Chain A
Amino acid sequence: MRFLLALLVMVPALAQTTPQTTPPAAPGTPQATPAQDQPPAGAGQTAPAQPAVEAQAGTPTPAGSPAPTAGENFHGSIDFGYRWLTDVHGSQDVYRSVVDLAQGPRLFGLEFTIADPNRRLFDQVDVRADGWGGEPYRTAHVDARKRSLYDFSFDYRDIAYFNSLPSFANPGAPGGFDEQSMDIHRRTLSAGLDLFPGGHFVPYLAFDHNSGAGSGIETWAQDSNNEYAVPTLLSDSTENYRGGMRVEYSHFHLTLEEGGTTYKDNDQASDATLLTGDNTTPVFGETLNLSSLQQAYGIRGHSIYSKVLFTANVTPWLDVYGQFLYSEPKTDVNFSEIAAGNFLDISQLLFYSSLVTMGTGTDNQPHTTGNIGFELRPLRRLRIIESLMTDRYHDAAAPNVMIAETAVTPTSSLLISPFNPLTNFSEYVNYNQQQIDVLYDLSSRLTLHGGWRYVWGDAQTLAGELSETPFATGQLKRNTGIGGLTYRALDKLSVSLDFEGASSDDVYFRTSLNDYQKGRARARYQLAKALSLQANFQVLNNQNPAQGIHYSFQSRDNALSILWMPDSGKRISLMGEYDRSTLSSNIDYLTLPFLTQAVSQYRDNAHSATSALNLAIPGVKDGKLTIGGSMFVSSGSAPSRYYQPLARISLPVNRHVSWNAEWQYFGYGESFYLYDGFRTHSFITGIRLTQ
């Protein structure tokens, strides 16, 4: 990856020496160069979302006159600098789990576009990269295209995933709060190449890679007697290869794709220290412990799939589409584990000193998906949309796990027991959905829509070990009515309302959507040329009154945002957003060990806000000051606070260079787990070079 970083830096540097074969753009020509309007160093950490002016549902703004002119061969920018952090007060682990920024020199952002006026190898190459040099999120992206020949894209991301949360582990663990933690990187790489040998046939190839690697702490559980936190090395990867052909004509399209996936999981856990585990209470006078562990997963998976997609304009008033896919992923298991210590087999009331577990097995999961639908426009104002979908997983598993226990009491002997006598079983999930929507333009400003969705299916899964039957089956049957309207009263006002109401005969789980009503309202109002308001309201009410469940769930979300941009925001602009959400959930359960009736209650009453005030610095052309940030405060079952105010300044040094600085504060607090809190300040200074 260092090579990639060097390459990303070098390419624009070299590209800047590209001779200018065409004159530069005329002064005053609007240019969509990156740059001055984009957040500088810091790459937008918690940057508030500024509503896109052109992205206004229902009231599209005519596109303005744009962009780079044909004469430019290279334009781009690079942001680099240094981040300082003050000491993290509070929990360093939680800080890393939530924020994870570190200090040091950084390449905060890089982007450039190269256009070849002679159109030899490419017409245009777009490159961007963010967060290199130690940021927890590193990305790189390349697009290259040559008209009528190819279109190539490459995307790479490396996201650090650190998670060590005291509240997530066993707070009573004698060894501390280190259970269930990880420090890994998840990397994804995607590359795709579309070829255009002719007007109608587009062959394509694509490759995806996804992997996770790092270390962590996992728990080695010795039945329910004791569990031990052991270090583990995590390593998994998935590769996907696919290729196909798109056939594109003006009235129909067909895609044929063949793909394959390979997967491997090589997680390993090992430890050679004497661990007493979470259960330090002696059992029959003996202290349980783990003195050594060697555990290795050798999981290999592979799959080949075939996919067919089509769309067609059968007539001017009828569009149809469909899709079919068949895949059959398979997994081969090769697991081994050798543990030594003082263990208890409570079923035989025996202590034993070593445990060897060997697991092999296979799993085969044919998966068939199909959907088909059409849009019918029988009248100018009427549209009828019908869709039908089916999705079927059928799973056949053949696990074979053997456990060998070496006993020390009464004498050394070998006890072999099959851990799970169920060595061949099958599960399945069948899901089907049909939906019909009718949309009617009552006038040019008012569209009504209504419809009906029917969902049905069945499933069979393994039942719990204490169940009377080896399998559990479930069914799904739900009818949903849909309605709503979109109203564009004036160019300045648009309103949309949506409603869903459903009644279920059967659902799979206690917390599934059962008898529910969901409503949503969205309104946007252009109060003045420079001032727009938007309001969102959403509510969900889900009930399952069945005996033993009594599930009641209500959530509500209200959001109001404002955008003020006088004189197109040349001197001042303000974006603000406030969101209020509430959630209430009650459901019955029986609490162990005495199976007493209890209610699981969850409440969440949250306020969140984001804002950004942009000010032009008087007397400094293109100088800009931004003040804003975000805050989140909640009460209820997980009362917490998370503040991220920031201030940012950008001062141009000359036409191509600007100096940027940023301050941001991160403060997190938790009312129930006080040791979870942290606070720190981040300071950034950097330079942006723009060509």
Chain B
Amino acid sequence: MLRPPSKVWWALLAAALVTIAARGAQDKAGAPAPQAAAPDAKTADNKPATYVGSETCQTCHEDIYKAFQQNPHHLVESDRKYRHTTQACEACHGPGGKHAESMSAGDIRQPAKLAAAAADRICLSCHLNQPTHVGRINGSHAKNQVSCVSCHAIHKNGPEGLVARQPADVNRQCASCHSDVWASFQRPFKHRLPESAMSCVDCHNPHGSALPHQMQTVDANEPGCFKCHGDKRGPFTYEHAPVRMEGCTACHEPHGSANPRMLTRAQVGFVCLECHANLAQPTPAANGTLGTVPPAFHDMRVPRFQNCTVCHQKVHGSYVDRNFLK
């Protein structure tokens, strides 16, 4: 098995040590820990802000307070586990004593106005340690400054509130940024998202995933495709290598295609021939040698040989035949 160059690991180790040392020096110097989630320690007049409780917030923010009673975050108000009993508002907004006195928006933390990473730290102070967020650290949304509040309206309730549940709502939300992807679903051969039979989160985990493109995993960390296409999962006696090694997108455009069955090429024959190139030997020195050996001597000019899957129909893997005929 190949291993990364050892220099890389030494460099990483050195970077980690330097970082930790720098961290320690910073702590010794009395610098505050960079916790965006921590409540604002002091306010403009340098007085420590104090917690006043959610009922004080209700005095002015009656509508939000009432709606919040049915919001899942209301749990923070009563559950000691979250360490903000009766202070659910201030769990995210920080201590509100100064704001309650001045009624100035500048005296309260507004997560929606913070930079993405800082806003996320507030949410992740509770939500990091949950299974759906195991991939959060490594998710591309987190790395691209797409904060939690970009998708979750924290105070809201109802169908499009804290969490969009209905497929149409989920799709609308994702498409508001990924408009180029949504355009693919206007093609004739696509998954049934425009019909609201599916949603983006059926295949992608917006919080992150170990797989590329934030793909959902099912069961034994297999690609989310197999949740619906269980007959393609195997294991097969005769595996078709790309299915395991490159996934469904080696041959399919899952968002939509002008080609039948969402294939990457207009004719089945070319989907196959681009790998099974009929090279008598794997002449390329290294790159891309799997599958280059000729599978047979078909006369590709004859129509009956042009759609390979007419005969090689078990192309996702076969239990019986190494040529995927049955």
Say how far A625's CB is from chain B's closest CB, in angstroms: 19
- Are B4 and A507 in contact, with the CB atoms below 8 A? no
The answer to whether the Cβ of B63 comes within 8 Å of any Cβ in the partner chain is yes
Residues from chain B with a CB closer than 8 A to the CB of A581 are 180, 183
- Are A54 and B286 in contact, with the CB atoms below 8 A? no
Cα distance A507–B20 in the bound complex, in angstroms: 37
Q: Mark A547-572, 1 if CB is under 8 A from B, else 0.
A: 11101000001110100000000000
- Are A459 and B319 in contact, with the CB atoms below 8 A? no
Q: Which residue among A54, A157, A377, A610 has the maximum number of chain B CB atoms within 10 Å of its CB? A: A54
Say how far A179's CB is from chain B's closest CB, in angstroms: 5
Q: Which of A30, A297, A376 contacts B19 (CB 8 A)?
A: A376
The answer to whether the Cβ of B156 comes within 8 Å of any Cβ in the partner chain is yes
Q: Which of B146, B156, B239, B321 contacts A67 (CB 8 A)?
A: B156
- Are B228 and A188 in contact, with the CB atoms below 8 A? yes
Given the interface pairs A253-B131, A331-B319, the reply to whether A30 lies near B220 with Cβ below 8 Å is no
The answer to whether the Cβ of B293 comes within 8 Å of any Cβ in the partner chain is yes
Cα distance A131–B197 in the bound complex, in angstroms: 9
- Are A55 and B246 in contact, with the CB atoms below 8 A? no
- Are A188 and B304 in contact, with the CB atoms below 8 A? no
- Are A55 and B290 in contact, with the CB atoms below 8 A? no
Question: Please, which residue of chain B has its CB at the minimum distance from the CB of A637?
Answer: B266
- Are A63 and B33 in contact, with the CB atoms below 8 A? no
Stretch of A10-18, A81-89, A242-250, A682-690 lying at the B interface: A242-250
The answer to whether the Cβ of B289 comes within 8 Å of any Cβ in the partner chain is yes
- Are A464 and B231 in contact, with the CB atoms below 8 A? no
Stretch of A408-416, A434-442, A649-657 lying at the B interface: A434-442
The answer to whether the Cβ of A462 comes within 8 Å of any Cβ in the partner chain is yes
Cα distance A310–B131 in the bound complex, in angstroms: 8
Cα distance A399–B318 in the bound complex, in angstroms: 11
- Are A57 and B145 in contact, with the CB atoms below 8 A? yes
Residues from chain B with a CB closer than 8 A to the CB of A56 are 150, 176-177
- Are A130 and B196 in contact, with the CB atoms below 8 A? yes
Cα distance A173–B307 in the bound complex, in angstroms: 11
Enumerate A263-293 residues with CB–CB distance to B below 8 Å: 263, 265, 278-279
Given the interface pairs A461-B241, A512-B246, the reply to whether A538 lies near B311 with Cβ below 8 Å is no
Given the interface pairs A169-B307, A199-B79, A638-B258, the reply to whether A548 lies near B280 with Cβ below 8 Å is no
The answer to whether the Cβ of A660 comes within 8 Å of any Cβ in the partner chain is no
- Are B234 and A365 in contact, with the CB atoms below 8 A? yes
Cα distance A301–B283 in the bound complex, in angstroms: 39
Dominant SS among interface residues on chain A: strand
The answer to whether the Cβ of B41 comes within 8 Å of any Cβ in the partner chain is no
The answer to whether the Cβ of B47 comes within 8 Å of any Cβ in the partner chain is no
Say how far B187's CB is from chain A's closest CB, in angstroms: 5
- Are A602 and B179 in contact, with the CB atoms below 8 A? no
- Are B83 and A250 in contact, with the CB atoms below 8 A? yes
Question: Please, which residue of chain A has its CB at the minimum distance from the CB of B16?
Answer: A376
Enumerate A504-561 residues with CB–CB distance to B below 8 Å: 504-512, 514, 522, 534, 536, 538, 544, 546-549, 551, 557-559, 561
Q: Mark A313-326, 1 if CB is under 8 A from B, else 0.
A: 10011010101010
The answer to whether the Cβ of B254 comes within 8 Å of any Cβ in the partner chain is no
Given the interface pairs A305-B219, A514-B287, the reply to whether A137 lies near B192 with Cβ below 8 Å is yes
Question: Please, which residue of chain B has its CB at the minimum distance from the CB of A98?
Answer: B188
Question: Please, which residue of chain B has its CB at the minimum distance from the CB of A212?
Answer: B231
Say how far B301's CB is from chain A's closest CB, in angstroms: 8
The answer to whether the Cβ of B110 comes within 8 Å of any Cβ in the partner chain is yes
Q: Which of A200, A317, A474 contacts B34 (CB 8 A)?
A: A317
- Are B168 and A44 in contact, with the CB atoms below 8 A? yes
- Are A604 and B258 in contact, with the CB atoms below 8 A? yes
Cα distance A49–B310 in the bound complex, in angstroms: 37
> What are 9 A-B pairs at a CB distance below 8 A?
A43-B195, A67-B71, A159-B192, A303-B220, A335-B319, A510-B288, A534-B177, A579-B179, A587-B277
Cα distance A395–B280 in the bound complex, in angstroms: 27
Q: Which residue among A50, A399, A475 has the maximum number of chain B CB atoms within 10 Å of its CB? A: A399
- Are A32 and B159 in contact, with the CB atoms below 8 A? yes
Cα distance A329–B295 in the bound complex, in angstroms: 29
Q: Mark B206-249, 1 if CB is under 8 A from A, else 0.
A: 00001000000011110000011111011111110110111000
Measured as residues with beta carbon below 8 angstroms from the partner, the interface class of chain A is: 35 or more
Closest 6 pairs between A and B when the two form their complex, measured CB to CB? A32-B158, A67-B157, A49-B175, A253-B129, A137-B197, A579-B183
Q: Mark B80-94, 1 if CB is under 8 A from A, else 0.
A: 110100000000000
Q: Which of B158, B260, B297 contacts A167 (CB 8 A)?
A: B260
- Are A595 and B67 in contact, with the CB atoms below 8 A? no
Residues from chain A with a CB closer than 8 A to the CB of B295 are 464-466
Question: Please, which residue of chain A has its CB at the minimum distance from the CB of B135?
Answer: A321
Residues from chain A with a CB closer than 8 A to the CB of B302 are 172
Residues from chain B with a CB closer than 8 A to the CB of A278 are 304, 310
Say how far B7's CB is from chain A's closest CB, in angstroms: 12
Cα distance A630–B188 in the bound complex, in angstroms: 11
Cα distance A522–B167 in the bound complex, in angstroms: 24
Say how far A177's CB is from chain B's closest CB, in angstroms: 11
The answer to whether the Cβ of A418 comes within 8 Å of any Cβ in the partner chain is no
Say how far B294's CB is from chain A's closest CB, in angstroms: 6
Cα distance A640–B188 in the bound complex, in angstroms: 9
Residues from chain A with a CB closer than 8 A to the CB of B14 are none
- Are B134 and A361 in contact, with the CB atoms below 8 A? no
**Given A333-B320, A463-B293, 14 extra CB contacts under 8 A:** A55-B174, A65-B155, A143-B165, A188-B228, A253-B130, A316-B35, A375-B137, A383-B117, A399-B238, A447-B116, A454-B8, A464-B294, A465-B295, A549-B284
Given the interface pairs A65-B67, A600-B270, the reply to whether A437 lies near B288 with Cβ below 8 Å is no
Given the interface pairs A316-B33, A638-B266, the reply to whether A547 lies near B286 with Cβ below 8 Å is no
- Are A61 and B112 in contact, with the CB atoms below 8 A? yes
Cα distance A210–B143 in the bound complex, in angstroms: 34
Cα distance A68–B66 in the bound complex, in angstroms: 9
Say how far B203's CB is from chain A's closest CB, in angstroms: 13
- Are A496 and B144 in contact, with the CB atoms below 8 A? yes
- Are B290 and A509 in contact, with the CB atoms below 8 A? yes
The answer to whether the Cβ of A139 comes within 8 Å of any Cβ in the partner chain is yes
Cα distance A637–B115 in the bound complex, in angstroms: 45
Q: Which residue among A309, A363, A457, A509 has the maximum number of chain B CB atoms within 10 Å of its CB? A: A509
- Are A279 and B187 in contact, with the CB atoms below 8 A? no
- Are A509 and B128 in contact, with the CB atoms below 8 A? no
Residues from chain A with a CB closer than 8 A to the CB of B218 are 208, 240
- Are B258 and A221 in contact, with the CB atoms below 8 A? no
Q: Mark B293-322, 1 if CB is under 8 A from A, else 0.
A: 111111111111011011101000001111
The answer to whether the Cβ of A675 comes within 8 Å of any Cβ in the partner chain is no
The answer to whether the Cβ of A224 comes within 8 Å of any Cβ in the partner chain is yes
The answer to whether the Cβ of A33 comes within 8 Å of any Cβ in the partner chain is yes
- Are B220 and A67 in contact, with the CB atoms below 8 A? no
